[in-house]
Each structure stands twice: as structure tokens, then as C-alpha cells.
Amino acid sequence: MELNLQPLAAISRVSSRPFREGDRVVSYLVRSVINEILRYDVLLDEDAAFRPEGFVFCRWVHRFKPKNLEDNPERLLKLTAENLFLTLADPANEPIPANTPLLQFLALLLERKRILRPRGRTADGERNLFEHLRTHQMYEIAAGDLTPEFFAKIQEQLGVLVGGPK
């Protein structure tokens, strides 16, 4: 599953202020009114003023790091299920409860593809532990039941990823 998206912007969508290293940035994936998938990046302190048009698929908060000139820009543009999971589940990013069902689904998908390996639950039993096999990074994802209600909850998000019904 792949989406081609714009890379992280260098300036805030709200104020056009350039991002500096260490700035907290909110990134949005949005399906526009004409069904394009767009990425918007805004400074955290400007987030309340930002109202994207269309369906907000997901959002995450992260610290801005200037691009390394040696990075491959084509590779950075590809958003795969694995990249989306690693971005949303990154312990350095602030967890956003609205992303939890999507993370649970992506963890299941990546487990079946043998990209993630389940490693049990946390001591309190509230989160499942997964190991990313390539990097050996551990991720904690809220435990949940894969019920019809669960899939109804993420139906619109999945529609953005794989395309809605014709």
C-alpha cells in the first residue's frame, strides 16, 4: 500500500514562518474536497488557527529536523503502511488518541507481513508490544479488540488509504 505525498514543508502553512531545528510541528494528512491526499505542516502554537478543508485522515506532532542533503527525495515521498506506522508510533512523537485505531490496524497488517513481531503486553496489560524486525525498535500500541465496531471506526481512514467504493 503506497501513497505519494509532499515531503515535510520548510515553512508553516499558517504563518509562512520557516521551521527551525527543534520546532514542534503538527503534520496533517487530509483528503481534499476533490479527493487528493495532501500533507500540511504547521507550528504547534499555530495549530488552533489551522482548519484544513476536507477529511483529516490523521495528524501527528514531531520535532523539526532539517533535511540531510544526502536523503533520497523520491524515497521520502513514498508513504507505505510501514512508514505511516513508524511515523505515527514513533515514541518521540506525542501520541494522539484519534490515531489509535489506525495504529492497531497497521500493527495487525505489518504483523501479518512479518515486518512487526508481537512481543506480548505491557505489565499493566493495556498495550501490546511489537518489535520492528529491521530496526529492532520496540513499539507500544494500545490493546484493542478487532470487532465490527473497530472496523467501522476506522472505515473512513482505511478508505483514504486504499480508495473508497466506486
Query: Residue 102 falls within a domain, yes or no?
Result: yes
User: Among positive and negative, which fits the CA dihedral 53, 76, 103, 65?
Assistant: negative
Given 75, 92, 121, which residue is the final one in a domain? 75
Amino acid at 88: L
Whether residue 157 is found in the same domain as residue 124: yes
**What confidence score (pLDDT) does residue 128 get?**
92
Whether residue 22 is found in the same domain as residue 99: no
**What confidence score (pLDDT) does residue 7 get?**
81
Query: Residue 27 falls within a domain, yes or no?
Result: yes
28-40 pLDDT, tens digit each: 988 888 878 889 9
Whether residue 98 is found in the same domain as residue 39: no
Query: Residue 33 falls within a domain, yes or no?
Result: yes
Average pLDDT over residues 53-64: 90
108-161 pLDDT, tens digit each: 889 988 899 999 999 998 999 999 988 989 999 998 887 887 877 777 666 655
Given 52, 75, 98, which residue is the final one in a domain? 75
Whether residue 43 is found in the same domain as residue 120: no
Given 25, 40, 75, which residue is the final one in a domain? 75
**What confidence score (pLDDT) does residue 76 get?**
47
Whether residue 63 is found in the same domain as residue 139: no
The yes-or-no verdict on residue 71 having pLDDT over 70 is: no
CA distance 160 to 165: 11
Please tell me which residue, 62 or 164, carries the higher pLDDT value: 62
| Cβ–Cβ under 8 Å, residues 3 and 79 | yes
Domain count, the chain: 2
Q: Is 44 helix (H, G, I), strand (E, B) or coil?
A: helix
Average pLDDT over residues 5-20: 89
DSSP 159: H
Ramachandran bin of 42, using left for φ above 0, alpha for ψ from -120 to 50, beta for the remaining angles: beta
Q: What are phi and psi of 49, to 5 degrees?
A: -85, -5
Q: pTM for this one?
A: 0.56
Residue range of the domain that includes 46: 7-75
Whether residue 58 is found in the same domain as residue 94: no
In this structure, of 12-26, 78-92, 133-147, the range with the lowest mean pLDDT score is 78-92
Give the long-range contacts of residues 113-117, CB within 8 A, separation 24 or more: 115/82, 116/85
